[in-house]
Amino acid sequence: MTKNVKIAVGLIYILCLGLILFGFFNFVDVTQLNDYSYIRDKTQFLIAIKDQNPFLFPVLFFLFAIIWILLLGFATPISLISGFLFGKIYGTLISVLGFTFGCTLLYFLANQYFKELILDKLSNRMSKLKDIFNKNEFFYFMIFRFAGGGGTPFAIQNLLPVLFNMKIKNYFFSTLIGLFPMVFILCAIGEGIEKIIENNIDPSFLTMIQNEEILFPMLGFFLILIISFLLRKIYFKK
pLDDT by position in tens, the chain (length 238): 566 666 676 677 778 778 887 887 777 776 776 666 777 778 888 888 888 988 999 999 999 999 999 888 889 999 999 999 999 999 999 999 999 999 999 999 888 878 888 888 777 766 677 777 878 889 889 988 888 777 788 888 898 888 888 999 999 999 999 999 999 999 998 888 888 777 766 666 666 666 677 777 778 888 887 887 777 777 666 5
Q: Please report whether residue 220 resides in a domain.
A: yes
Q: Please report whether residue 30 resides in a domain.
A: no
Q: Please report whether residue 37 resides in a domain.
A: no
Confidence (pLDDT) at 206: 66
Q: Please report whether residue 16 resides in a domain.
A: no
Q: Which residues contact 133 (CB under 8 A, 6 or more apart)?
A: 140, 141, 144, 161, 163, 164, 166
Confidence (pLDDT) at 127: 66
Q: What is the number of domains present in the chain? A: 1
Confidence (pLDDT) at 207: 66
Q: Please report whether residue 45 resides in a domain.
A: no
Q: Please report whether residue 7 resides in a domain.
A: no
Q: Please report whether residue 82 resides in a domain.
A: yes
Confidence (pLDDT) at 210: 66
State which residues form the domain around 75. 54-235
